[in-house]
Chains A and B, each alone.
Chain A
């Protein structure tokens, strides 16, 4: 089956060979550091590819085309090739890899990112009234018209 031309391809249809290829490419884009895992282990390795593609099914076609056209190349060469001949597919791969990585709870925890959690607003506690008064004392900033 030519997946890149199948109109109703879903995340579940992405073959394991494509997932393997993407993990190798991902490790190049986001390698491990002393404190952070590589993207092939975290994110894509944690099954986040399906999460990303369910949220962004429009990326499936570009991903499959990227894999189909470069899977016989080494990951570095594959990325170079995509950047030269198929920029939409290249950007889709970058977004999928980063999207998978930065939606992984382990990664977010390691980063200390605590966004998207509801907080009670503390009204006006962080405004320094003395500084504000000095703005007022400097006088009007507008032109009379």
Chain B
């Protein structure tokens, strides 16, 4: 049986940040990761078949991908399919590297707009941690964005915005709207031994250059060198508890079917907003019939998934729509803040993204069967390289009926009950997207688009999974405190997207990483004062 000061469950974004800080502070750490170390040589970006592989073995959906290390998810009662990846680096392996922060208003939604809840911390509390994680991950961008309060410059200059970014910048200049070169966790120059981006345009199937930040590159090698024990293909079934109400470790299973236990003084869950509530709920026992850390009844509830739309403009000339990093060339926060005259609250951030290669041009999901036959070549000519797309990430307000539960029948290959997701898109989200689609259409038409198509509420857009173990000050209405410590179990921490109080309208990885660093440093500072439940 392994033993450690701290057990981390999950080696993704937050698990890597926590491991790095704990190792630096001299803690003895074990991490259990259900997946494997990624092999960059296996990433498909340089293979001609990469667009085919993106639809199966490199899909973001574990249900489509069906890797041996994935667990299935019952998403039949969900409007959106959850997307994630199991492995060292976690879902960062397949994310786009878009690295915006939450805005100040995101932390005060109740106070400002009368909806949802305020966070127990403010932007200013997190800003120093954002700036430090920017340095650790290697963020490229331009300082001075008026969408944010003043602060440190990103450590690297911006990535190219390309013909498409330049064109849309001119469009927004005409309209008097915000735009800014996007902050990306993708290297624009050599940095800390990593090579810069070479613009393969396949970030979401793994970056073969290692230019896109993920903790298997940015945090785990140093943590392992400092003695952190990272056990891969180790699938956790449950958290173990002592008689005095503290977590004592976890039970896990290996691919050969052997079961093991790790003991630790502190347990950190970093398994994402689906995996974390799954483990807490699967840890139910006669003493904890509703699962662990669940006296509020909120474990698994308030699942938030950013409502997403793509608005694509068609142009007569070649804008190299397939080129470059995928996350965002430029962003727009013009309509991020609430204006109640619009008929909804909160807003959305726009990311200007490439539109993919030839197979994506030939098989756009919105085009149906009209792409075949005599019209095919004209269809591809219109799409390939001649399209620009705004990706719109809207804020999703928390709703307790949107939730993660444990499925009564479905299990993973080890027999561990699998999660079930129940999720409906709200009326506020629909109105929000309708408004933003209209504005994005205006943006593209001003840039010279002769036609615009949109795809709203795409099913396979569940990249951002948030809120299923929210933070707060009141144990009756929250699962963890502002540092991720469970109200019910003071040596059990949650450090992933589960703790978000509200979703904001931006890609969350930057915030997940900053919160993990803040929580871990608080854990380290407060370790000598370990509480025991009464």
Q: Which residues of A contact B (CB under 8 A)?
A: 28-31, 33, 35-36, 51-52, 55-56, 58, 83, 94-95, 98-99, 101-103, 107-108, 111-113, 115-116, 118-128, 131-132, 134-136, 138-145
Contacts and interface: CB of A to CB of B under 8 A. Distances in A.
A51 B160 contact: no
19 contacts: A95-B363, A101-B362, A113-B385, A116-B45, A118-B198, A121-B159, A121-B199, A122-B160, A124-B160, A124-B181, A127-B142, A127-B166, A128-B169, A131-B169, A131-B173, A135-B146, A135-B172, A142-B337, A144-B104
Contact of A124 (B157, B173, B362): B157
Nearest to B169: A131
B369 to A, nearest CB: 8
B363 A143 contact: no
B306 interface: no
A121 B334 contact: no
A108 B385 CA distance: 12
A101 B51 CA distance: 12
For B49, B103, B180, the residue with the greatest tally of chain A CB atoms inside 10 Å of its CB is B49
Nearest to A79: B372
A143 to B, nearest CB: 5
Nearest to A33: B377
B170 interface: yes
A51 B166 CA distance: 37
A132 B146 CA distance: 10
A57 to B, nearest CB: 9
B49 A145 contact: no
Contacts of A101: 362
A124 B172 CA distance: 19
Label chain A's interface by main secondary structure.
loop
Contacts, number: 174
B159 to A, nearest CB: 6
Given A33-B377, A143-B112, A115 B359 contact: no
Interface residues of B, number: 75
B337 A126 contact: no
Nearest to B159: A121
Contacts of B221: none
A95 to B, nearest CB: 7
Interface string B148-178: 1100000001111111011001101100101
Given A103-B48, A126-B165, A135-B180, A140 B198 contact: no
B260 interface: no
B108 A145 contact: yes
Nearest to A96: B52
A89 to B, nearest CB: 15
B199 A118 contact: yes
Nearest to A123: B157
Contacts of B179: 131, 135
A131 B52 contact: no
Contact of B158 (A55, A120, A124, A139): A124
B160 A108 contact: no
Contacts of A36: 377
B147 interface: yes
B358 interface: yes
Given A121-B199, A139-B146, A145-B105, 8 more contacts: A29-B372, A51-B48, A56-B52, A102-B358, A112-B385, A113-B358, A115-B323, A140-B146
Contact of A143 (B46, B55, B105): B105
A116 B200 contact: yes
A145 B363 CA distance: 44
Nearest to A115: B322
B26 interface: no
B201 interface: yes
A94 B372 contact: yes
A31 B376 contact: yes
A51 to B, nearest CB: 7
Interface string B168-196: 01101100101111000000110000001
A135 B178 contact: yes
Contact of B56 (A29, A56, A124): A56
Contacts of B104: 142-145
B50 A121 contact: no
Nearest to B369: A83
B286 to A, nearest CB: 43
Contact of B49 (A55, A108, A111): A55
Contacts of A108: 358
A115 B203 CA distance: 13
Nearest to B180: A135
B112 A58 contact: no
A35 B376 CA distance: 12
Contacts of B123: 145
A31 B373 CA distance: 6
Contacts of A144: 104
A39 B176 CA distance: 47
B197 interface: yes
